[in-house]
Amino acid sequence: MFYIIVGGALALEYGTFNAITGMLLSVISYGVITSLMARHAIKTGHSVTSFSVELFGSKGAVLAAIILGATAIYYAVFEGSVIALAINHLFPSINHTVAALIVVAYSVPLVLGKIQVWLDKLNGVLLPVYVIGLVAAVCISISEYGYSTNWMTFGPAEPSPYGWWNCFVYYMGIWVLMLFAYEYAKFGKPSDEAFHSKWNFGFLFYFVTIVINGACGIYLVSSVPSIEKISEISVVLAILSLLGFWGLVFVWATQTRINSANYFVATSNLKTIGQFFGIGWKWGWWAVVVGVLVFVLMLADVFKYLLEALAYQGIIVVAWVGVALSRIIEVRRLADGGISDVPCKTVNYCGLTAWLVASVVGIILMNCTGLLATFSAPATAIVAYAVMRLLSKRQGVTSPSISKVN
């Protein structure tokens, strides 16, 4: 649902051509970077947290856990609120509080114990529901209002010639998906490395996720008269008006697929943070904590704060990716894709310095005005990569050896 909305919103602001160009460039960057990261995670068995220990040291790694955990909770709040809105819209007798409780009550068990074993099967079932629902929404829109070619020229009368750059940079703000991919890729078998890097975390996946969803969003936004303002809420209501109860099923399937990942990543990282501070709770209790936090935030008017928080976190995440890429490429050069068995440091000043410097540069640029602000995310990635590479060369990189983390 998120990518449907983003596609329509970017086309409205910068024009269809610029939006789709930005999407295609994003597919290339996502495909290349995530493929490298997925291969690394599969070979080493690293999670984001354990790899962060190598990058930043045992104490520095907790920062990555805090950022990724908070981001996952924020997304869980946002996506959960969409389902609650849909429930309340179709069943007005169920108020927002009860709807939010329903969403959290069924979401938490999805990441508990043995349920995780069939979670991938559930997502496999939900995928065709999502595809059928999206196709149905477009087809019914055509049936109700006729096919419109307005989506091809949708947007401002005179789009900016550099609008494609703005669209590309916008998608950099959600590079946290690369961390999510890394978190899941660790479960892959080394024998399936090529398949996962090409298909599950490669170009085709991101083409469907970003371009196909985005194009459908542009069409729905430009052709459904009931959409007056571009937002997640307005598009959800339009889908509900087109599909009725099946629209609710579509929204549920879409958001549940996403939220199962959000809850898993949030629980994993909160558990890591708890262990750092000496709290040895079991997985299930941390999942409940995530559910409580999500429920409380869903009841508060936090969306305007969430968007601002996610903008800052986006910069910090891009910096993490830059540092990680520098390390991954370096060990691939030295050992054909292996990972070094370097002793765990309490603090790795190379990684922390690169992460901090890049984040500061990105945040400063983000708060500038005009064209300069659009370079915040790209500059962050470049600075993180360059500083990490420079400091690592000065320190010296241990010749890596392949080892799978248990």
Tell me, what's the pLDDT at 337? 45
Residue 248 has a pLDDT of 85
For residue 362, the model assigns a pLDDT of 96
Residues across the chain: 406
Query: Which of 165, 169, 203, 172 has the alpha carbon at shortest distance from 319?
Result: 172
How much of the chain, in percent, has pLDDT values that exceed 70? 87
Mean pLDDT of 134-159: 87
Which pair of tokens denotes residue 368? 């500038």
At 401 the pLDDT is: 42
| The pLDDT of residue 281 | 92
Q: Is the pLDDT of residue 145 over 90?
A: no
For residues 145 and 143, give the distance between their C-alpha atoms in angstroms, rounded to a whole number: 6
Please determine, for residue 69, whether its predicted confidence score (pLDDT) is greater than 80: yes
Matching residue, tokens 């590309």: 168
Confidence of residue 229 (pLDDT cuts 50, 70, 90): low
pLDDT of residue 89: 86
Per-residue confidence (pLDDT) for residue 16, from 0 to 100: 93
Residue 399: per-residue pLDDT: 43
Tokens of 238: 């339009």
Q: Is the pLDDT of residue 402 over 70?
A: no
Q: How much is the average pLDDT of 364-377? A: 91
Query: Which range, of 85-89, 102-106, 394-398, averages the lowest pLDDT?
Result: 394-398
Confidence (pTM):
0.81
pLDDT at 207 over 90: yes
3-state secondary structure of 114: coil
What does the pLDDT read at residue 156? 87
Query: Hey, what are 168's tokens?
Result: 């590309």
pLDDT higher than threshold 80 for residue 400? no
Model pLDDT, residue 176: 84
pLDDT tens per residue, range 50-66: 898 889 888 877 888 88
Count CB-CB contacts under 10 A for residue 399: 12
What tens digit of pLDDT does each residue of 297-351 get?
998 866 566 667 767 888 999 999 999 999 999 887 766 544 445 556 677 889 9
Q: What is the mean pLDDT of residues 99-128?
A: 78
8 in Cβ contact with 218 (< 8 Å): yes
Q: How far is it, in rounded angstroms, from Cα 264 to Cα 73?
A: 10
Average pLDDT over residues 78-101: 90
Bigger pLDDT: 12 or 37? 37
pLDDT of 98 strictly over 90? yes
Confidence band (pLDDT; 50, 70, 90) for 215? Answer: very high
Q: How far is CA 218 from the centre of its chain?
A: 20
Point out the least confidently predicted range of 220-229, 249-258, 370-379.
220-229
Q: What is the percentage of the chain residues whose pLDDT exceeds 90? A: 34
Q: Quick one: residue 347, left, alpha or beta (phi over 0 = left, psi -120 to 50 = alpha)?
A: beta
Q: What is the mean pLDDT of residues 216-240?
A: 73
What rounded mean pLDDT belongs to the chain? Answer: 84
Average pLDDT over residues 380-388: 97
User: Closest Cα partner for 136 from 236, 50, 250?
Assistant: 250
Model confidence at 406, in pLDDT bands (50, 70, 90)?
A: very low
> Per-residue pLDDT for 155 more than 50?
yes
Domains and CATH numbers, the chain: 2-395 (1.10.4160.10)
